[in-house]
Amino acid sequence: MKYEVVYPGSNAMLVVTLNKGEQIKAEAGAMVAISPNLTIEGTMDGGIGASLKRAALGGESLFFQIIKAEHGPGEVLLAPAALGDIKLLELNAGKDYFLQGGAFLAALGDIKIDTKMQKLSQGMFSGEGLFVLHTTGRGIVAASAFGAVSQINIMPGDEYIVDNGHIVAWSGDTNYQIIKAAKSWTSSFTSGEGLACRFSGPGTVWIQTRNPQAFGGWLKRYVGAGGGGGASLSRLLDMGT
Amino acid sequence: MSLANNCRLYKKSSAEPVAVIAKLENPGLFISPSGGGNDSTQWLYRDCSFDLSGYNQSRLKVSHNLSGDVLIIDDPDLIKQISCGQSELPGMEALTHKLKLRPWLELKSWLTVMSIIIGICLGGYLLVEATVNASIDHLPIAVDKQLGESAFKHFLKKYKFINDDKQLNRIRGIAEKLSAASSMPYKFDVYLAKSKEVNAFALPGGKIIVFSGLIKDAKSDDEIAGVLGHEIGHLKKRHSLRDLLHSVSLLQFCKFVFGDNHEDVQELMNLMLKIEGLKYNRDQESEADEIGINLAKKAGYDPNGLIHFFQRIQDEESNSPPAFILSHPLPKNRVVALKKKLADLEANSN
C-alpha cells in the first residue's frame, strides 16, 4: 500500500494506492475518485451499538466505508469536507491516538477505532466534546484539520497550553487538564480566550491553525440565519378515520 | 514476583516513545528494548517518582529522576503490582487510592451523563406537551379555519365532489344530530367526495369530507354516525393543530439539544421523531374513537355502529403491518378498545 498527501495545505487530499487484496477504512463521504476495480462497502464498524455511539457521541458518521482492492490494484482519492490539511499519524509500538470528533478521515492498516468518554470536566469544557475517538493498532491514521496542522512535541516534564478549539489529535500517553487561559477568570473571558487545555509531556499534540467554531461565528455575521422546518401539509391531511 | 509487559519509554529530550519491556525486579524495574538488544537499564524505585497520566489518568507514569527519562505503563496488572507492592514509596498511597477509585468514577460519569441525557429528553418532552396544552386554548378557531382552508384546496384539486341531495342530506342530517350533542362552538360543513376509499376526513376549522366508498360500505346510519362522531372528535380536540404544534415544538427542541449540523444524527433524529409522531397520531385516533361512540350514543344512535364498521375492516384485512409504523391503530385493537370503553359507558349509565 502506498499513500501520499497531495496539495498539502487548505486543499489537501489523500491518495492511497492499494495492492490486490488490501483494504482501507475511510470516513463516509470522503471519497473523491476511485479506480474502477476497487469496491466500496458501507459498514457499521463494531456493530450498530458502536456505530451509534461513534455517530451520536463521537461526532463521526454512522457508517464507515471500506475500500477494497478485491479485483486488482487501484487508487482512491480521499478528502475531508472542510478546507484544511491532512496529517498522517503512524501507529505502532503500542502507541495510541485520540482524535477530536470529526477529525477522522481514514485508517490504513490494522487499526481499531473506538469512542471513549472523557472525564466530565474535560468533556464539558475541553472543546472536543464529551466523547473522543480512540485509535489503536498498527498502521496510519489520517486526521483532517481546519487550516494547517502543527505538531507540538512535549518532552518529559514539559507542558504546553492549547486553546481548546484548535486541538486535532494527541498521543494517548499525554495527560491534559482544563484550565482558564488567562490569570483570572475575568481576564480569561474578557481576553476572548476562555478555556484552554494544559498538556503534560511526554507526548505529542497536533493542532489546527484555525478554530472551526470561531470561523462559524465569524461567518454568521455575514450570512443570514436559515429558516426552520415548516409544517407539512401531508401530516395535516393524515387525519382520516 | 516478576511480571514483564510492553511499555513505552520516552527519553529525556524526546516526545517520541520507544517500545520497551518492563520487568519487575525488586527493588526496581528492569527495562529492555522490546525488539531485543543490549540497551537495557534498571531503575530503582527510590530513584523514581510516580504519577498517573494518559486517557482519564489510567496509565502509570514512572519518571526516572536520575536520567530524566519517563516510562509509561498502561497494563492494569503491572500497574497494580507496582502500586500495591511499593505502597511505602512517597505519594504511592494516594496514587493507589486514585486508581482504586477510577472504575467507580468512570461508572459515576457514565451514570451522570446518561441521567442528564434521559432527564433532558424526558423533561423536554413533558415541557413540549405542557406548552402545547397551555397554548392551544389561547389560539383562536380562526387559526384552525385557515389551516383547514389550505388543506381543502388540496382536496378540491384531487377529488370530485358529489352534489347528490339524497346522499348529502342523509350524512348532513346525521352530522347535525351529532353536532347538537357535541356542544361545539361552530358548525360543520359536510362534503361528499367521489372515491372508492372507505374513509372520511376532518379538516381543522369544521370541514368534514366523507368518501362515497364509505357510504357504500356502511351498513347503517349508526355506522356513519360512529365515523362522523370520530371526525368530530378530531375537531373537538383540535387534533390537527395540536399535532402541528407538537411536531414543530419537538423538532425545535431536538435541534436545540442534539444540534442540526450532523447528517447522521439528523437522520436518526428524524426517524425517532417520525416514530414518535406516529404514536402521537395513534393516540389521537383512539381519543377520537372514544369521542365518536360517546357522541353517537348521545345523539340517539347505536354506539356499536363504529365497532361494527372497524370489525368489517378487520375482517377484510388479511395481513396487518406492525402497529408502530402506522398512523392509525390496527382495527382489531380499535375494536377491543371501543368494546371496553362502551362497557365502561354502559356500566356508568346504569
Give the start-end residues of each E strand in chain A. 2-6, 13-18, 23-27, 31-34, 39-43, 64-68, 74-78, 86-91, 97-99, 104-117, 131-144, 149-154, 159-163, 167-171, 175-180, 195-200, 203-208
CA nearest neighbour of A154 among A139, A170, A168 = A170
pLDDT of residue A55: 54
Separation of alpha carbons B295 and B284, rounded Å: 16
The 3-state DSSP composition of chain A as helix, strand, coil percent (nearest 5) reads 15, 45, 40
pLDDT of residue B38: 75
How is B169-193 classified by DSSP, letter by letter? HHHHHHHHHHHHHHT-SS--EEEEE
Contact criterion met (CB < 8 Å) for A175 and B19: no
Residue indicated by cell numbers 451509534 = A52
Contact criterion met (CB < 8 Å) for B8 and A95: yes
Grade residue A104 by pLDDT with cuts at 50, 70 and 90. Answer: very high
User: In the A/B pair of chains, how many CB contacts fall below 8 A?
Assistant: 143
Name the β-bridge partners of B309. Answer: none
Contact criterion met (CB < 8 Å) for A229 and B14: no
pLDDT of residue A93: 67
Contact criterion met (CB < 8 Å) for A154 and B15: yes
Separation of alpha carbons A80 and B45, rounded Å: 48
pLDDT of residue A69: 94
Contact criterion met (CB < 8 Å) for A173 and B54: yes
- Burial classification of residue B122, based on how many CB atoms lie within 10 Å of its CB (0-12 exposed, 13-18 middle, 19 or more buried): exposed
Percentage of residues in chain B with pLDDT exceeding 70? 96
- Asked if pLDDT for residue A233 goes beyond 70, the answer is no
Task: Write out the three cell numbers for A61.
Answer: 458518521
* Residue-wise pLDDT tens digits, B206-248: 899 999 999 988 899 999 999 999 999 999 999 999 999 999 9
Inter-CA distances, B283 with A171, B234, B279, B305, Å: 52, 11, 6, 21
Contact criterion met (CB < 8 Å) for A238 and B200: no
> For residue A120, what is the nearest residue in chain B, using CA coordinates?
B109
In this complex, is the C-beta atom of A209 within 8 Å of any C-beta atom belonging to chain B?
A: no
* Residue-wise pLDDT tens digits, B72-108: 998 888 888 888 777 777 777 778 777 777 778 778 8
pLDDT of residue A84: 96
In this complex, is the C-beta atom of A134 within 8 Å of any C-beta atom belonging to chain B?
A: yes
* Residue-wise pLDDT tens digits, A119-130: 655 555 555 556
Residue B92 per-residue DSSP state: H
ipTM for the predicted complex:
0.75
Q: Residues of A numbered 169-188 whose beta carbons fall under 8 angstroms of chain B's beta carbons: which are they?
A: 171-175
Q: What is the mean pLDDT of residues A224-239?
A: 46
In this complex, is the C-beta atom of A226 within 8 Å of any C-beta atom belonging to chain B?
A: no
Element (H, E) at B118: helix B92-136
Grade residue B31 by pLDDT with cuts at 50, 70 and 90. Answer: very high
Element (H, E) at B244: helix B239-258
Name the β-bridge partners of B59. Answer: B53
State how far residue B87 is from chain A, nearest Cα, in angstroms.
Answer: 23
State how far residue B296 is from chain A, nearest Cα, in angstroms.
Answer: 15
Which among B16, B61, B151 is the nearest to A233, CB-wise? B151
Task: Write out the three cell numbers for B270.
Answer: 428524524
Contact criterion met (CB < 8 Å) for A156 and B70: yes
Which among A228, A231, A238 is the nearest to B327, CB-wise? A238
> For residue B334, what is the nearest residue in chain A, using CA coordinates?
A241
Q: What is the mean pLDDT of residues B120-135?
A: 90
Lowest mean pLDDT among A174-188, B42-56, B70-84, B202-216: A174-188
